[in-house]
Chains A and B, each alone.
Chain A
């Protein structure tokens, strides 16, 4: 038998030297060129949009508007975070918007009409989401109806369900101070800074400990300079945001002061950290990626594919419930249109614009936040420019198409690069 020749350009597997920061940057550029764009389009888009709006309308970059961006985009972003799980499997949930509406209606009915304490109502709303997700997931995984059809049916049915819950179109107002505070009140200035410091310290600690452990075992570890750069970037971006949000936003500070980080921001941060941990550090998360990448291979590896599918839908609908609660808080009321109109498409758009693939297997929870920011900036900036709903819809639709196009082209490119 012929001796195998070493193919050119292929190094030995156990190259264990630590990569330098230059290498890491180079590897990143290689990845992007190979079609793995990740969050790059969203970040670039965000920068371009913010620059354009800041120049065209100076009001865009004011503290009050930036704080508005967060509360405006929060509900869609949270729904998008849940959608990432379903999209990772290559499925779709078209009902997430109205699922959030149903859950918000459950919240409003239990809170205002029944007068139950807020925490009971929140649990009821999220449990509603869990039930919805279980039903949808079971229909997709066990019965085998395509998710597009199941959730399209649910999309229609839930519109009716919201109408039933809110008594044919009445508006239920929410007065509970805790629920209203979520999207309308801010953290004290000191707490904002403390939270910021804790986040940066925690991130640095996690990165350092991991690099140290890997280095100790002789595995390739991130160099200190790269960790420093990451932590530094987080500190600068987070620091600037916290600083801006802690500025006085009230037109008349003598009467009422308005400053601090909106409460939704830490809520989203907690969800981001928790779900990122689940996806990146647990076997369950690994299996979600595996099923999205190759369901048959996962089945042969002994993974319960149906169970993974159902849980992804449960996570999606429960996150929709959280999004519904935030939407209800922001509007201080629930009506038949809560979670309706453009909410779902914005949420899918947010996830895809952020870099989650519609073909499954690729995406992060952070993508939903970046994409959510893009969607919120477009909505907000176009509003400031004085454009009506028509132009907003057109532009958002175009951006969504652009993002999906980038995804599809990147996939083609990755396939070409993979078969070099």
Chain B
């Protein structure tokens, strides 16, 4: 099966510092691909290259079998790539519906079409089996961390996206809320989306992912099926770039 999203041989430098070296990475539709790596390994940079926030210096991005050019967040959005950032990117003073449609409001003529936005937002949340918010007209400031993360994810799903990239979605959450968000992540993949999950937490990674890609100092150490590796092997990949015959050749 050809991956829905594939990056081949990506290089990226900031001035004299090369952050990504020849990185190859693939995400399948219907699967959760975990992207792991130590601080500074280049996870966020890779994601920002895919999302069009940073231009790439070399290599190809292949989407659904054809090479594409991503020059900005809008290009990525049009392809169906949505990124849910670590710092959430929600406006506290707006309600859930307003946040989900932010920047892409539906209008009838000059006026906002509140009713159809509210319907669609409710449908999307229902489709994700989200039952933990009182009202979708609630201000985001009144939501818990897990609920905010849910809204941010639902916002990404709303746009018929095909690839959803989640940057540390559980970093700031408690135990129950983490479970809630991870369940949502699994459900997204089960509906046929390609989900990329960036995480530091290997328990989370093993709980939901189908594949694990480990970055080590800007190089892709290995991308393996979760079922084929152990916890310890992944830790080795993250910390030293290789584990047995897996990983970067010495």
Q: Residues on A close to B: CB < 8 A? A: 1-2, 4-7, 10-15, 34, 213-214, 217, 219-220, 281-283, 286-287, 289-290, 292-294, 296-298, 300-303, 361-362, 414-415, 417-420
Tell whether B232 is near chain A: CB-to-CB under 8 Å: no
Number of A-B contacts (CB under 8 A): 117
Within 8 A of A (CB), among B108-142: 110-112, 115-116, 118-119, 122, 125-126, 130-137, 141-142
- Tell me whether A282 and B130 are in contact (CB under 8 A): no
- Tell me whether B89 and A294 are in contact (CB under 8 A): yes
Contacts of B180 in A (CB 8 A): 4
- Tell me whether B103 and A15 are in contact (CB under 8 A): no
- Tell me whether B102 and A297 are in contact (CB under 8 A): yes
| Bound-state Cα–Cα, A298 to B94, Å | 11
Contacts of B227 in A (CB 8 A): none
Contacts of B141 in A (CB 8 A): 414-415, 418
Question: Which residue of the partner chain, among A1, A289, A362, A420, contacts B207 with CB atoms under 8 Å?
Answer: A1
- Tell me whether B90 and A297 are in contact (CB under 8 A): yes
Tell me the smallest distance from the CB of B179 to a CB of chain A, in Å. 5
Question: Which residue of the partner chain, among A214, A289, A296, contacts B94 with CB atoms under 8 Å?
Answer: A289
Question: Which residue of the partner chain, among B103, B125, B137, contacts A302 with CB atoms under 8 Å?
Answer: B103
Contacts of B144 in A (CB 8 A): 419-420
- Tell me whether A293 and B94 are in contact (CB under 8 A): yes
Contacts of A219 in B (CB 8 A): 115, 118-119
- Tell me whether A4 and B94 are in contact (CB under 8 A): no
Contacts of B87 in A (CB 8 A): 296
Contacts of B208 in A (CB 8 A): 1
- Tell me whether B102 and A417 are in contact (CB under 8 A): no
Contacts of A300 in B (CB 8 A): 73, 85, 89
Tell me the smallest distance from the CB of A414 to a CB of chain B, in Å. 6
Question: Which residue of the partner chain, among A13, A213, A294, A302, contacts B136 with CB atoms under 8 Å?
Answer: A13
Tell me the smallest distance from the CB of B54 to a CB of chain A, in Å. 14
| Bound-state Cα–Cα, A166 to B54, Å | 53
| Bound-state Cα–Cα, A14 to B93, Å | 22
Tell me the smallest distance from the CB of A173 to a CB of chain B, in Å. 42
